[in-house]
Structure 1
């Protein structure tokens, strides 16, 4: 569904090059059924990388403001990756568990996220599933940023060779972090317990992440002490 400016029960053209807008008609936003080609997150990363610092893709094919905007989000994603501002995670989407990479945003990165959300063109929120209303700016940007980063990290690490079997659910999760789709296979009860119990790294970082997000702390440092196995 595309939520588009509408006048005289017709969607208004996106550009004067397409058609002139109806004169003297009041416009309102209405949902329209459209045909679209869905892209995977990896395909979106590849497409946006081609569009970086470009205004046209070919003669007569001009990039819109929304594409230019998402290239800025891709640059932000690359900055987070270069500074290793992401952590492994596990999440449930539509009844399926996935291993994924999530951005860790603090200080200036949180400010940049807010500025990017405020600069988002309205058309970036125009497409929705079914009759759902458009998402809020920050929630949409957060979700897209996470998907772009997850795809980019997988593309950069290369897909791992699948072993014949896994010794544990943790090993299966580690493999899924580098697989193409990140799906975690297994019994729902075991996967639910794995996600609820949290990974060792998350048991240490979740309280810190919650403090940083709720208190808006900028000058936080997180340190680790590594001990050999068998020592406490």
Structure 2
């Protein structure tokens, strides 16, 4: 019997909750928010800022929601019904009634929805990290054991570090687009995305070094 190659054996990350960040194409994502409390308002603003389409369902809305002005926002007055979940990719559960909360979670699980529970993030299968974006970067930061204020504090520090690579990021991404149909694309990008090449980039020799090794670029 053949033994599997060690390199083919996947080792599962045993970290807390196995957090995994994904990048959503926000303008293709529909979000349903159930409840119109403070936590729901914060999550609604986050998704709207990213470009998601958001529909909020609640028997009543406070001034914070009524002040929001966005073409991607719809406020729906009423009580929860499972049909509200049907056309949504992500559900934010922000209700104070624990019995209703459990019922919504049950429906979300049954329909395989991504859902976030405002009362306790451990009850959901989705967490929102602190996020930041620039012309060159988009990133999200979460603390494994849950600490939103710390994530928010650290995010600008991470951004400051990333910004030192902004010019290199733009140059390398422009190069990648230029190499779209080049037969050695992967090899060249592997060469460029390295500490050694970044050293020459900082010295102003990036284009010369590329031409030295790859004349047809």
TM category, shorter = under 0.3
Q: What is the TM-score normalised by the length of structure 2?
A: 0.24
Q: Which has the larger radius of gyration?
A: 2
Where relative contact order (Cα < 8 A, 6+ residues apart) is larger, the structure is 1
